[in-house]
């Protein structure tokens, strides 16, 4: 993720005719849209299994979930009538699904050369579903821009009935992003809200404390215990936490004697997708900084136990959807996260104050869903103070976009983001045009 993150790039020559590429791509997209046949013999696994259109579980577009879809996922990919019932595993098509996303991107960041490029951010294979009366599994293999292949998954057991049950998940899984409600359930457009996808604290090279490269769009290894009752879910996760890559996803490297933990409560407010999430995350890391040396790494080193960092993130996310006559829906969504990185005493050069790094971040987003063409417009404003005590440390992102499902298996999205990062002094434009297929 982090498609709107500013990147360090080598200056290149501007490629002429970028606008032409966009226009040509639009023409191709238009042709695809208008010429697309209306068959329905290939759709994602669970839609096949239940003979159901996407709208049974998704709103307003795939992959965001409505309440039925949320409960289906909470229950280990079971409908209410499937609790404590054996599963038929013979049809591979009920478990196997794939997704591909192709993008045309235009990136114009101040101080670098503007560029346009085709991107291939996601090719995913899923093999998932309920396996037995009580157990289910999720496997996700994906390739990002053809550079690497990553696997993650979990095994889940549930105990109870559809009115109330306990769920235990073990494996590598998302903490909240992609697994939550009220705006934590994946974006409607392409990019995630920056406050969920980017690091919330930052420091300059002058040692004034250091910051944790932590965000909520990570898949961590651990265990989750959750209690689901009606519309609510209370969950508790214990995870390895950050490792030497800062991602929480490396195969080895967790040397912490302490584990990270997350406590959250999610509540669904209606049958569409309104809801809220309250959360508190506490992490521990072990930095390599020593006295007199500005910290060069913000991550725990797998070979050194010392310089313990504690950090925490807490806040909420909320979305509420209002019907607008028979025309569609209006959604208001937002979230706030407070971050606190408790630096070790050794950090900081002599004569400089060593102090904690704090961040504040919020975003607000509105969405307008038009029935009929099933068109969704969205607009988002995100504000992050990356180092609250320091002046001029805010980053603002303005995003607008539109999503249109072409068919059951295809959706197209256009999204534009303007970033104004006062902390780094960099502004930039990022425009994305994406075609996504699920089958």
Which residues contact another protein by CB under 8 A? 14, 18-19, 22-23, 26, 30, 33-34, 36, 38, 40-43, 48, 50-57, 59, 66-68, 71, 79-81, 90-94, 96, 106, 108, 110, 114, 162, 271-272, 323, 326, 329, 370-375, 400, 402, 404, 406-408, 412, 414, 416, 429, 431, 433
Find the shortest distance in angstroms from Cβ 317 to another protein: 21
Helix (H, G, I), strand (E, B) or coil at 256: coil
When the beta carbons of 14 and 149 are compared against another protein, the nearer one is 14
When the beta carbons of 207 and 414 are compared against another protein, the nearer one is 414
Find the shortest distance in angstroms from Cβ 257 to another protein: 45
Find the shortest distance in angstroms from Cβ 413 to another protein: 9
User: In sequence order, which residues have a C-beta less than 8 Å from that of residue 292 and are 6 or more positions away?
Assistant: 349, 350
Question: Beta partners for 100?
Answer: 123, 437
Could you tell me how many residues make up the chain? 439
Find the shortest distance in angstroms from Cβ 128 to another protein: 14
Question: Beta partners for 135?
Answer: 157
When the beta carbons of 288 and 400 are compared against another protein, the nearer one is 400
CA dist., res. 288 & res. 123, Å (int):
36
Cβ(415)–Cβ(399) below 8 Å: yes
CA dist., res. 56 & res. 43, Å (int):
13
When the beta carbons of 78 and 169 are compared against another protein, the nearer one is 78
Show the tokens assigned to 80.
């209410």
CA dist., res. 397 & res. 382, Å (int):
5
Q: Tokens 């709103």 appear where?
A: 59
Show the tokens assigned to 303.
């070979």
Show the tokens assigned to 259.
């584990």
Find the shortest distance in angstroms from Cβ 297 to another protein: 35
Find the shortest distance in angstroms from Cβ 400 to another protein: 8
Find the shortest distance in angstroms from Cβ 5 to another protein: 19
308-324 vs 328-342, strand pairing mode: antiparallel
Find the shortest distance in angstroms from Cβ 118 to another protein: 15
Question: Beta partners for 157?
Answer: 135, 168
CA dist., res. 288 & res. 290, Å (int):
6
CA dist., res. 207 & res. 212, Å (int):
14
Find the shortest distance in angstroms from Cβ 437 to another protein: 14
When the beta carbons of 94 and 201 are compared against another protein, the nearer one is 94
When the beta carbons of 199 and 417 are compared against another protein, the nearer one is 417
When the beta carbons of 113 and 301 are compared against another protein, the nearer one is 113
When the beta carbons of 106 and 276 are compared against another protein, the nearer one is 106
When the beta carbons of 202 and 413 are compared against another protein, the nearer one is 413
Q: Is the dihedral of CA 189, 190, 196, 201 positive or negative?
A: negative
HSE at residue 184, side-chain half, CA atoms within 13 A, is 30
């Amino acid at each position: 993720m982090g498609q709107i993150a500013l990147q360090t790039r080598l200056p290149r020559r501007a490629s002429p005719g970028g606008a032409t590429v966009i226009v040509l791509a639009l023409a191709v997209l238009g042709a695809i849209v208008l010429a697309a046949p209306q068959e329905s013999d290939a759709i994602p696994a669970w839609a096949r299994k239940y003979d159901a259109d996407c709208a049974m579980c998704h709103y307003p577009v795939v992959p965001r979930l409505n309440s039925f879809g949320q409960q289906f996922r909470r229950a280990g990919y079971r409908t209410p009538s499937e609790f404590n019932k054996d599963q038929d595993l013979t049809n591979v098509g009920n478990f196997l699904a794939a997704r591909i996303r192709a993008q045309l991107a235009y990136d114009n960041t101040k101080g670098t050369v503007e560029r346009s490029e085709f991107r291939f951010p996601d090719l995913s294979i899923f093999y998932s579903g309920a396996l037995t009366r009580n157990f289910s599994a999720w496997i996700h293999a994906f390739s990002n821009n053809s550079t690497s292949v990553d696997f993650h998954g979990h095994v889940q057991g549930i105990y109870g009935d559809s009115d109330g049950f306990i769920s235990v998940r073990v494996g590598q899984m998302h903490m909240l992003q992609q697994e939550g409600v009220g705006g934590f359930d994946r974006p409607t457009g392409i990019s995630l809200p920056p406050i969920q996808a980017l690091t919330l604290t930052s420091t300059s090279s002058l040692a004034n404390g250091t910051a944790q490269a932590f965000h909520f769009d990570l898949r961590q290894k651990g265990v989750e215990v959750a209690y689901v009752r009606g519309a609510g879910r209370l969950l508790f996760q214990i995870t390895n936490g950050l490792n030497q890559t800062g991602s929480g996803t490396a195969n080895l490297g967790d040397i912490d004697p302490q584990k990270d933990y997350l406590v959250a409560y999610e509540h669904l407010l209606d049958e569409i997708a309104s809801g809220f999430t309250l959360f508190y995350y506490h992490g521990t890391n072990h930095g390599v900084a020593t006295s007199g040396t500005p910290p060069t790494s913000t991550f725990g080193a797998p070979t050194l136990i010392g310089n313990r960092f504690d950090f925490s993130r807490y806040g909420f996310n909320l979305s509420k959807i209002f019907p607008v006559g028979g025309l569609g829906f209006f959604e208001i969504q937002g979230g706030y996260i407070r971050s606190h990185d408790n630096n070790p005493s050794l950090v900081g050069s002599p004569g400089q104050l060593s102090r904690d790094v704090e961040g504040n971040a919020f975003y607000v987003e509105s969405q307008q869903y038009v029935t009929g063409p099933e068109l969704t417009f969205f607009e988002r404003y995100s504000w992050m103070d990356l180092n609250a005590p320091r002046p001029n440390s805010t980053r603002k992102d303005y995003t607008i976009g539109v999503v249109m499902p072409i068919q059951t298996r295809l959706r197209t999205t256009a999204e534009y983001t303007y970033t104004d990062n006062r902390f780094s002094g960099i502004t930039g434009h990022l425009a994305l045009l994406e075609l996504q297929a699920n089958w």
